[in-house]
A and B are shown apart, each in its own frame.
Chain A
Amino acid sequence: MNWSIGKSPTRKDSLEKVTGAAKYTADFIGAQMLHVKLAVSSHAHAKLKKIDTAKAKQVPGVHAIILGPASPLTGDEVKDRPIMASDTVRYYGEPIAAVVADHPFQAKKAAELIEVTYEPLPVINSPKEALQPGATLLHKDLATYEKIPHVYPEANTNIANRTKIRKGNISQGWDESDITIEENFSFSPSDHTAMETRCTIVEIKPDGVVHITSSTQAPYKIKKQFAEIFGLEEGKVVVHAPFVGGGYGGKVATQLEFIAYLASVAVGGKPVKLLYTREEDMVSAPVRIGLDASIKLGATKEGKLTAAEITYLIDSGAYSDKGSMLTKAAAATCTGPYNIENVSCDALCVYTNHPYVTAYRGFSHSEILFVFERAMDILAKKLKMDPLVLREKNVFLPGMTTPTQTVLNHSTVGNLPNCIDKLKDLMNWDEGMVVRVADNKLRVKGISCSWKTSTISGASSGVVLLFNPDGSVNVLSGIVEIGMGTKTILAQLLAERLKMDINKIHVQMEVDTKVIPEHYKTAASRGTLLAGRALLKAADDAVSQLKHIASHVLTCSPDDLEVGYEKVYVRDEPETFVQVKDICYGYEFPNGNSIGGQVIGRGNYTLRHLTNLDYETGAGKSGPEWTVGAQGVEIEFDTTDYTYKLLNAYSVIDIGKVLHYKAAMGQVMGAMSMGLNHASAETFQFTQDAIISSPRLRTYGTFRYGDHPQYHVHFFETPHLDGPYGARGVGENGLIGMPAALANSLSIAAGVELTKLPLTPESIWRAKEGDEEK
């Protein structure tokens, strides 16, 4: 029987979250705490001529004002970013100075009084501009920046990284094609918009131990970076990650933690809190990529794809942070889930004077799929072929090779043909893609297919299981509870493995890097794979310890024993057993002799066999497995004013194994909503000077209740043999096909190829009325 897998046990964080008791970083309040506020740049690119803090210092309550040190530089892959701007600002909203004061309003008042004199520099407002000959260089010292291997900044350019894919023979691919299409696509950077704005508290204790509490998805990365950047001992950096109010990739980046550390140093180590305003969270903190793309596809008249030539220019903004890895992921996934023998792709990480970028749910996939899946629809139209049929003819199957020349097998890739079949059924595809429902109203369907892997080599996770005297178990994992419920799923996995009641499994929600084993980052949909495998190993470790003690009690070989039902019992005589609670702290024989001690299960897991990509060809194994899916959108479109309603949204995903049904549904529906929201409304709007207009929720266009469509979700279960119980990553798949599906439906509805996001009525009107330039 299934103890827990596939069911929907109550989330372990339920009661805390519905009573307001759940503590997020900003909720830790102390009378001793000082408060930090930032002064940020009002220019997108300028020399800092003078920073005058004289008036700010006069504000009552101010303890210290910190300016950006020229060094050290920070960055995940390329160290190109100062902690705060020191001599040059490179984006609007870039932190320039930080004020520490008794109360937030005092720090704010002082920050407002800091007078900055700028000398404006030429602004780069898109990746295309950045690559123009003679374009201003944003990083003159790019060639000398420290970096990891396998990232390739190009000296004296604005290119922070380039990933190339060269598969097959592209000229042969064109020779074999009967039909080609070419198109350009673009969109601007946008925001994660987690409801919790980023916050951190830093304190340096008298013994030199630095305590950082942060709204982070990557506490262990903060620990390592603090040690590296500030020359601290890793053992003296402790990061606490309480509940996090949404991340979506945005809280993978380390930014405000560095600033708060300098602030704490400046006030003798006192605890300081830095809570970003919504505006800072949107603009000063890292954002989601923008993209300029061009694509050319070739196919036979039967609809077999023969060649793809693609350029992806990733708008990384002022610094590279995760930009170089997003570029790598874009290249590795460049063709979507389709088998093409001849592929040439260049993905470039390009510096601009926009806010810098970090991970965003989908990690380049939704952005790239928007381009590729739109191109597939354009091709299908030219071939006069049903767009789903075109896709069916080309989908990845086991035995085929990815753009990075990895051969797929029945475990590493799910069953996309199944997903497409089911999608047809759910969407009533035979009805046709367009139905006229009134004189000026059309009901229109659009589709897309998707695949997703995680390019996260070297990622590992550890789990410790501590038994309590009553036989219940505490689970310690470094996964941060950012909303996806992974800790509840870990409890399920343990309940299943130990055949015990999930209510007797207690999960530690807050991460404390000092006492909780490391988990890579709570990102990339890999929590369940990494921590799940580590947990199963820890469970096996605990089982073997329990059997060892029980074997003495029951006087038999441990090999004859099983663990389950909170007992250790003899396999073929289950009535001969000892209770787990009687041995999990060792066992005392009637004569007073004791053996064993507290059972502590240990386990870890590292992704195996991933490789770096070859610089010339991109060959290499980029990720552990590919979750595939087929998605669709049905809209009602008004042909008079180009407004539309989202009626239905569909996701059919091969999830490997449904571990927690409602959590999986929640992840997929939430991700679909995010994908549709991005595609339909979200964007930063830049002036010519790259100033962001109105970075507020009020004008940003975030979905609200009632904007959402009806969701239709179906799961297939083709097991990933490495995954816990066969599960695949699923946190991002609901999102990644949505922009393309929406754009495909609207392109059909409006009768014009839409190539830009977001798809507002105005942008459709522009495309339709041929006034695209404005």
Chain B
Amino acid sequence: MISYDFDYHKPTAIQEALELFQALKKQGKKPVYFSGGTEIITLGRVNELVTDAVIDIKAIPECNTYKQDNRLILGAALTLTNVLDLQSFPFLEKAVAEIADNTARNKITLGGNICANIIYREAVLPLLLTDSRILLASLDGLTEKPISELFHQELQLKDGELLVQVMTDLEAIQLPFYIVKKRRQWGVGYPLITVAALRKQNKVHVAISGLCSFPFRNKQMEDSLNNEQLSIDERIEAALKHIPATVLDDVHGSDAYRIFVLKNTLRDILRVLGGAENDG
């Protein structure tokens, strides 16, 4: 139950949403875009997220797009279940299939997960590795950018900017991948760590969630993992040196245990996706 009140708006066009946002700001409000809304409702309940106006983007056609030509375009308001049912991006599907649970995935949206407050945002991992691009809307118009350019710990959106779509080249979708989510125990819930990997041009690329307080892909880590001069274990040890922030130590597991699990997982990845063999 949320103890504070907020306005609720449901625009049917991007421009309307953007204008609403600015108008509400002018009224002194702190509007937020509301997609699946699961996080606004659950964090709102404990006052970890407070707003006085929500703008529901689910009625905006562009945010519900699904299109596939030379690239796949997914609207930000598609639910995770929609993404799974489309069966057009196996890597992303594998990632989102482990987020929350089946019923919750009927409500959580792709854009919601990417822009979430929760630190895991696992949908981002395949998007980072496939060099996906995102479409943003602002009053200056629509801009398309590589996600790697905008995602640093979290998606760097300007005030009022709206995530509309995610685009991925079909070629990248075809590449061999590996993703594993390790939990403290049993089959549902937040990760201890989630590690995603993609094999491209004879190299393994890795993105990780749950290890630090944000998901990341790190170039030096990848270079270490692909260093053919080193044994597998040496590559992993070298990669660990490039973890970009403090390793989490929380209810899901200690920092030391996370490292233990990460090492095992990286070993699996190098075994499955190979380090030096050809792409075959």
Contacts and interface: CB of A to CB of B under 8 A. Distances in A.
B245 interface: no
Interface in B238-265: 250-254, 256-257, 260-261, 264
A762 B253 contact: yes
B189 A706 contact: no
A19 interface: no
Given A701-B186, A703-B186, A693 B251 contact: yes
B250 A693 contact: yes
A167 B28 CA distance: 76
B189 A699 contact: yes
A694 B251 contact: yes
Nearest to B261: A641
Contacts of A769: 260
B187 A704 contact: yes
Given A693-B251, A694-B251, A760 B1 contact: no
B186 A109 contact: no
Given A762-B257, A765-B260, A105 B3 contact: yes
B251 A112 contact: no
Interface in A637-692: 640-641, 680-681, 685
Contacts, number: 58
A771 interface: yes
B3 A112 contact: yes
A774 B254 contact: yes
- Secondary structure at the B interface, as helix, strand, loop or mixed, is loop
A45 interface: no
Nearest to A761: B185
Interface string B173-187: 000000000001111
A108 B101 CA distance: 29
Interface in A80-128: 104-106, 108-109, 112
Given A105-B3, A762-B257, A771-B256, A112 B47 contact: yes
Contacts of A641: 260-261, 264
Interface in B20-51: 47
Contact of A704 (B188, B250, B252): B188
Contacts of A704: 101, 186-188
Contacts of A707: 186-187
A740 B187 CA distance: 23
Contacts of B216: none
B186 A105 contact: no
Contacts of A105: 1-3
A731 B106 CA distance: 37
B220 to A, nearest CB: 26
A640 B271 CA distance: 15
B190 interface: yes
A699 B188 CA distance: 9
Contacts of B185: 680-681, 701, 758, 760-761
A198 B140 CA distance: 53
Interface in B186-214: 186-190
A108 B272 CA distance: 52
B1 A104 contact: yes
A701 B257 contact: no
Contacts of A680: 185-186
A109 B256 CA distance: 40
A706 B2 contact: no
B3 A685 contact: no
Interface centre among A761, A765, A769 (most CB of B within 10 A): A761
Interface in A375-409: none
B230 to A, nearest CB: 21
Contacts of A703: 186
A109 B4 contact: yes
A738 to B, nearest CB: 15
A641 B184 CA distance: 12
A651 to B, nearest CB: 21
Nearest to B252: A699
A109 B3 contact: yes
Contacts of B254: 762, 774
B125 to A, nearest CB: 20
B1 A108 contact: yes
Nearest to A759: B185
Interface in A739-774: 758, 760-762, 765-766, 769, 771, 774
B264 A698 contact: no
Contacts of A701: 184-186, 189
Nearest to A707: B186
Contacts of B47: 112
A110 B168 CA distance: 48
B264 A699 contact: no
Contacts of B190: 698-699
A108 B3 CA distance: 6
A703 B186 CA distance: 7
A374 B4 CA distance: 52
A210 to B, nearest CB: 28
Given A109-B3, A760-B184, A762-B257, A698 B189 contact: yes
Nearest to B257: A762
Contacts of A694: 251
A730 B134 CA distance: 59
A104 B47 CA distance: 15
A771 B257 CA distance: 10
A703 B185 CA distance: 10
Interface in A691-720: 693-694, 698-699, 701, 703-704, 706-707
A109 B4 CA distance: 7
B181 to A, nearest CB: 12
Contacts of B1: 104-105, 108
Contacts of A758: 185
A685 B251 contact: yes
Contacts of A771: 256
Given A109-B4, A641-B264, 5 more contacts: A693-B251, A701-B184, A701-B185, A707-B186, A765-B257
Task: Give the 4 A-B CB pairs with smallest separation, nearest first.
Answer: A109-B3, A108-B3, A681-B185, A762-B257
8 contacts: A112-B47, A641-B264, A680-B185, A693-B250, A704-B187, A760-B185, A762-B253, A771-B256
